[in-house]
Amino acid sequence: MTTTRFAPSPTGYIHVGNLRTALMNYLIARKAGGTFILRIDDTDPNRSEEKYVDAIKQDMEWLGLHWDRVERQSERLDQYAEAADKLRDIGRFYEAFETPVELDLKRKKQLNMGKPPVYDRAALDLSDAEKDTLRAERGNGVWRFKLDRERIEWNDGVLGNISIDAASVSDPVLIRGDGQVLYTIASVVDDTEMGVTNVVRGSDHVTNTATQIQIIKALGGTPPEFAHHSLLTGPQGEALSKRLGTLALRDLREQGVQPMALLSMMARLGSSDPIELRSEMAELIEGFDINRFGSAPTKFDVQDLFPLTGRYLQSLPLEKVQSEIDALGVPADKQAAFWDVVKENITTLADLEGWWALCRDGAEPLIADENKDFVAQAMTLLPEGPYDTDTWKTWTTAVKETTGRKGKGLFMPLRHAVTGLERGPDMSALMALMQVVRARG
RNA sequence: GGCCCGUUCGUCUAUCGGUUAGGACGCCAGGUUUUCAACCUGGAAAGACGAGUUCGAUUCUCGUACGGGCUGCCA
């Protein structure tokens, strides 16, 4: 059975980059009728916070990314210890005692000599007595996985056939000096034991994948299918991480972005399928194919989310936005007409307020100099309210007859004078909602 | 520095060595609507650079430039 997972660490809020990964995994599971696991990667008690666990769940629920299982790595420490024992038993695990400072120095030295900064495996030569001494002096060492120095190959769902020479990679540290297990081992143990069949993640994990494949095999498991999607950059191609602050899901929600707009974009951006607004998750699931994604970095502009949001809102019936419209104080008998009139002129629900203010209070007229006399004359022909759906037609007809103007020259100045805006909803419908026309005096 | 990936209209991308280099979004222009939007039609718009292989290269090879990632006792 197809099983995928999204494994965020609760050290911050979910942002667009995370979301893309989560969504892809979700879509793959759903399309295959499989299982989608939410796995909280909280092995680091110092950096993990419960409030982020809650926030991650909230954000995913907001988007409708429902998980079938939730797991917490902090509750699976025993499993990781078992795997570590196994690696020790088969001789693929060794203790090393270099301090971070020493390692840093080694790396710099290697770099200076034009060599790749790969760990030199000095610890492999330590005798038991030497290890005891070091342990006594420095405390427990770190545990490194001993890589087989050969090329590691796999067929990646996005990258295609790819291979990395293990000799160009350091033996990964899987357990820290303080005993804390690290991402690499926790991830492979979980993926194997939880039956994960497809791993989609950012291309920042490509090198990890090579070492993880060896670890999985050493533990007797079968590597899942891997797919590494490209990373998002900003509109200028700059790394997105620099601006992550503005791209947290909760900020987007705050700005009025609608879930389906966001999902429609993230499920297609970077693929050869056109980005189109979908109003149902089912449509996204059906059309999703990880193989259609390219591997080049993908530019993402938050602004593109707003037109999609606008289009999504337009498609909604009144019931779906009733509470927002209620909150504005729009009288019950005018709500249907109001929504109908303004829905095509909003990008987020926050825009509703401005339109209602216009209907309720009227607007400061916008009158070009050359139209001053014309508008003044027209206003004398505008009857007193309340207005209805015939008002605009009756009024403009009367204005046309007395002034001789027609077409754009007739309508635009009146639109500007009544609404104070260059553009807006259909005027006959809007007029019926106008309670005040300030230009009338 | 090393390793991995990449570079086609503004953006996301298609192209199994021979195409008028296609589509989508955006943009521009007409049409339609006696106004706005929507809609319809049309248009402008691209192979990073340099070699090589070939009858023929966007496509294959090499180099250069540029971009992204990794190179952690982070994930």
**pLDDT score of A243 more than 60:** no
A329 shares its domain with A282 = no
Average pLDDT over residues A7-32: 95
Q: Is residue A362 part of a domain?
A: yes
Can you tell me the distance from the alpha carbon of A156 to that of A228, in angstroms, rounded to the nearest whole number? Answer: 7
Nucleotide nearest to A186 (CA to C1'): B75
- Shortest CA to C1' contact from A274: nucleotide: B24
The first and second tokens of residue A3, run together, are: 């099983």
Q: Are residues A80 and A129 in the same domain?
A: yes
Query: Do residues A346 and A352 lie in contact, with contact meaning Cβ atoms separated by under 8 Å?
Result: yes
Asked if the structure places residue A277 within a domain, the reply is yes
CA–C1' distance A288–B10 (Å)? Answer: 26
Answer yes or no: is A225 within a domain: no
A235 CA, B64 C1': Å apart: 26
In this structure, are A297 and A326 located in the same domain?
A: no
Q: Tell me: the pLDDT tens digits for A165-210? A: 999 999 999 999 999 999 999 999 999 999 999 999 999 999 999 9
Burial state string for A180-197 with b = 16 or more CB within 10 A and e = fewer than 16:
ebbbbbbbbbbbbebebb
As to burial, measured by CB atoms within 10 angstroms (0-12 exposed, 13-18 middle, 19+ buried), residue A178 is exposed
> Can you give the pLDDT at residue A148?
96
Find the Å distance, CA of residue A435 to C1' of nucleotide B27.
38
- Are A302 and A393 in the same domain? no
Question: What CATH number does residue A247 fall under?
Answer: 1.10.1160.10
**Does residue A242 sit in the same domain as residue A137?**
no
Domain extent for A286? 234-313
**Closest nucleotide (CA of A99 to C1')?**
B73
User: Quick check: is A205 in a domain?
Assistant: no
Q: How far is the CA of A387 from the C1' of B24 (A)?
A: 43
Check the CA dihedral A316-A318-A321-A325 and report its sign. positive
Is the domain of A298 the same as that of A378?
Answer: no
| DSSP 8-state assignment for residue A71 | E
Residue A338 and residue A402 share a domain: yes
How far, in Å, is the CA of A155 from the C1' of nucleotide B57? Answer: 27
Tokens representing A168 are: 């160009």
CB-CB contact of A196 with A224 (8 Å): yes
Alpha-carbon distance of A435 to A221, in angstroms, equals 72
What percent of chain A has a predicted confidence (pLDDT) above 70? 99
Whether A306 and A329 share a structural domain = no
- pLDDT of A286-307, one tens digit each? 999 999 999 999 999 898 999 9
Asked which of A153, A186, A219 is the last residue of a domain, the reply is A186
Torsion, CA A114, CA A120, CA A122, CA A125, rounded to 10: -120
- Chain B bases having any atom below 7 Å from a protein CB: 1-8, 11-14, 22-26, 34-38, 67-75
Q: Are residues A350 and A269 in the same domain?
A: no
Closest by alpha carbon to A239, among A23, A15, A55, A22? Answer: A15
Residues A93 and A170 in one domain: yes
More confident residue, A260 or A246: A260
Tell me how many domains chain A contains.
3
pLDDT at A246: 65
Q: Is residue A354 part of a domain?
A: yes
Distance A296 CA to B48 C1' (A): 15
Categorize the per-residue pLDDT at A81 as very low, low, confident or very high, splitting at 50, 70 and 90: very high
Domain membership flag for residue A55: no
pLDDT, chain A, mean: 93
| pLDDT > 90? residue A249 | yes
The CATH number linked to A115 is 3.90.800.10
pTM of the model: 0.93
Please check whether residue A50 lies inside any domain of the structure: no
Q: What is the pLDDT of residue A241?
A: 62
| CA–C1' nearest nucleotide, residue A397 | B34
Last residue of a domain, one of A293, A313, A333: A313
| Same-domain status, A170 and A126 | yes
Considering A168, A186, A204, which residue would you say is the last residue of a domain?
A: A186
Are residues A166 and A88 located together in one domain of the fold?
A: yes
